Amino acid sequence: MNISGDDMGQLEDMYIFLRVVETGSITKAAEQMNIAKSAVSKRLSLLEQKLGIKLINRTTRKSSITEAGQRYYHRSKLIVDEVDELNSQTTSSNSALEGTLNIAVPLSFGLTHLAPALDLFLQQHSDLKLNINFSDQKIDIVEQGVDLAFRIGQLDNSTLQARKIAPIKHVLCASPDYLVLHGKPITPDDLKQHSVIRYGSSEQSGIKLLSKEGQEHIVHLEPNIIANNGDFLKSLAESGHGITYLPTFIVWQSLATQTLVPVLEAYKLPTMHAYAVYPPNRHLPFKVRSLIDFLVERFGDNPYWDQ
């Protein structure tokens, strides 16, 4: 079988075409691939000429895929994924991880728990480069060209694929000084008599608690302080500003030193999960799969912050 330079070039054109479709514009695709917008546009035009079909309708702001382009996209993705998988299998045979891994991580969880884990991972794979976006904002990982993102909570019904990396438990807690001054709540309704500091927005749902008898209590609270950073809320709770509702991965050391103590321990709080989410590829790149496997093994079903 003879493989011409044109065939090799067409594979590159497929990669470019896939990026344009997945990012929604030639400009964004060019930025992600770090090549000139004019070069992307030219390669796309040459591919359309070679195929004799219109793949993408271009406007000044947005690119939209044609019906023929949709068919070509799905077939191209199969081919590109097969090539990626072949490369991954070849790479995995000598355990070398190379290239850049673009990841997005939540701020508190990222700094406290993912940073030390990534440090170890990079020590094992010195040729790997990382590009990390620390933010609690949910981003479009396909549009932003992110290989892997970490999310905590319930996953929405998106096309993204996900894998659980750790359970996330929550705790209601306050400083000992606060509880001496204001008393310790005995029932969920007692929380309404206390100062509460919470993560999130003012439109959040109530706190769900489950008694030992299996009775569910949903308590709607009016927080005195709302913030979008758990470490800040932990600091305020330690200073005696009220009862806070936070994940154990943020307050585990405060609980261990008893600068914060749990309240309503007779009641069970819902468990969430930390997920690794990634674009819906048929094959995961080996470097992405390796990092997910590493984190699943490091955190496990009973992560160190809950022990």
What value does the mean pLDDT of the chain take?
84
- Please check the confidence at residue 157 and state whether its pLDDT lies above 70: no
The share of the chain scoring above pLDDT 70, in percent, equals 88
Which pLDDT score, from 0 to 100, does residue 18 have?
A: 84
Higher pLDDT: 147 or 262? It is 262
* Rounded mean pLDDT, 138-159: 79
- Please check the confidence at residue 6 and state whether its pLDDT lies above 60: no
- Please check the confidence at residue 260 and state whether its pLDDT lies above 80: yes
- Please check the confidence at residue 269 and state whether its pLDDT lies above 80: yes
| Cα-based distances in Å from 1 to 4, 14, 80 | 10, 21, 20
Q: Show the tokens assigned to 58.
A: 């271009």
Report whether 243 contacts 237 (CB < 8 A).
Answer: yes
Per-residue confidence band for 4, with pLDDT thresholds at 50, 70 and 90: very low
Which pLDDT score, from 0 to 100, does residue 3 have?
A: 39
pLDDT tens-digit readout, 88-99: 666 554 456 777
Which pLDDT score, from 0 to 100, does residue 146 have?
A: 83
| Cα-based distances in Å from 262 to 78, 80, 91, 176, 224 | 52, 52, 48, 10, 19
Higher pLDDT: 226 or 202? It is 226
- Please check the confidence at residue 106 and state whether its pLDDT lies above 80: yes
Which pLDDT score, from 0 to 100, does residue 144 have?
A: 77
Higher pLDDT: 88 or 24? It is 24
* Rounded mean pLDDT, 179-208: 85
- Please check the confidence at residue 270 and state whether its pLDDT lies above 70: yes
* Rounded mean pLDDT, 239-267: 94
The share of the chain scoring above pLDDT 90, in percent, equals 32
> What sign for the dihedral angle of Cα 24, 27, 31, 36?
positive
Per-residue confidence band for 1, with pLDDT thresholds at 50, 70 and 90: very low
Residues 294, 306: Cα–Cα separation, whole Å: 19
Which pLDDT score, from 0 to 100, does residue 219 have?
A: 86
Domains of the chain: 5-92 (1.10.10.10), 99-163+276-306 (3.40.190.10), 170-262 (3.40.190.10)
Alpha helices in 66-221 (DSSP H): 67-92, 107-109, 115-124, 176-182
Which pLDDT score, from 0 to 100, does residue 203 have?
A: 52
